[in-house]
Amino acid sequence: MKKLLAGGLLLVALGGLVLLSLPTILHKAGLHPTYSGPTLSLPGKRALIITTSHDVLAAPGVTEGEPTGVMASELTHPYYTFLDGGMDVDLASIQGGEIPIDPQTLRFMVKSPEDERYLNDKLAQAKVNNAIPIAGVDIGQYDIVFLSGGWGAAYDLAQSPELAAKVSEAYYGDKAAVMGGVCHGVLGLVNALDRDGNLLIAGRRMTGVTDKQIQELGIEMTPLHPETELRKAGAVFESQTAFRDIFATHVIADDEQRFVTGQNQNSGLETAHTMMRILSARN
């Protein structure tokens, strides 16, 4: 009996050790890689981060389901990159008001250092609770426009004619904003038009979350999938793969250096820093 009890306690201890080690294991596998490239300071420049307002993970039209929204790191990674680079950073969402953050993405095994910083940052939390509605954004004031992803973005970014119009306005504006985003956030680009009425991103090299990653995670009920929609819009789709694409990452700037897109939740830091490098190189 004592041997059985000792064996049981050992198994419990080993299980606890594995659980506590899970964040490190996932990080080493590729989740939220550490950014080690150059950093810049751009005081006086302004960045806008745009997110979803949708908070239910369910089939289109269904109003009840698991809570969702923006993936935490896809908001916090660009936010603190821009903020620490001396930029003024505003938050907007499709409807405005409180931005829904997917609670699963703040669980300890996937929570990033930037997520932890956000949970202790009252000013950032106030911005999240009072996002600017996209229809009320003066997009011409921003040097960088970053579209965050998460499952919620599949339901309202591409479906917003106001967002599509703002992307076109930012592209042709005096500031010639550097635009882009990660994961499902790139859906906010697919319906923007150029001055001739053609899709603005057609022919541009871009990336977003892969159909493979969506299939591997078993969340295919969402209405739009970035790889599929980017290809439909005429973008030249690129990506990297891994034994599970949740551990892959890829960041690409189009040839004109106007759009920077990241494949998934692992790509936020590099995408944001790349946008800042492009902006800095103009000066």
Q: For residue 248, tell me if it sits in a domain.
A: yes
Q: For residue 140, tell me if it sits in a domain.
A: yes
Q: For residue 10, tell me if it sits in a domain.
A: no
pLDDT at residue 65 is higher than 60: yes
The domain containing residue 246 runs over which residues?
46-281
Q: For residue 166, tell me if it sits in a domain.
A: yes
pLDDT score, position 231: 98
pLDDT at residue 55 is higher than 90: yes
The one-letter code for the residue type at 59 is A
Mean pLDDT of 124-143: 98
Give the tokens for residue 282.
């103009």
pLDDT at residue 91 is higher than 70: yes
Q: What are φ and ψ of residue 159, in 5° steps?
A: -85, 0
Q: For residue 20, tell me if it sits in a domain.
A: no
The CATH number linked to 230 is 3.40.50.880
pLDDT score, position 13: 47
Long-range contacts of 231-234 (CB under 8 A, 24+ apart): 232/190, 233/189, 233/190, 233/191, 233/199, 233/201, 233/202, 234/199, 234/201, 234/202, 234/203
Q: What percent of the chain has pLDDT over 70?
A: 93
Q: For residue 196, tell me if it sits in a domain.
A: yes
Q: For residue 253, tell me if it sits in a domain.
A: yes
Q: What's the whole-number average pLDDT of the chain?
A: 94
Q: What is the pLDDT of residues 147-157, one digit of tens each?
A: 999 999 999 99
21 band by pLDDT with thresholds 50, 70 and 90: confident
Pairing, β 259-262 against β 178-182: parallel
Q: For residue 217, tell me if it sits in a domain.
A: yes
Name the pTM for this structure: 0.94
Cβ atoms of 155 and 222 within 8 Å: the answer is yes
Q: Which runs of E-coded beta strand occur in the chain?
A: 46-51, 56-57, 66-67, 88-93, 132-133, 144-147, 178-182, 205-206, 236-237, 251-253, 259-262
CA dist 140 to 58, 78, 159, Å? Answer: 35, 20, 22
* Number of independent structural domains in the chain: 1
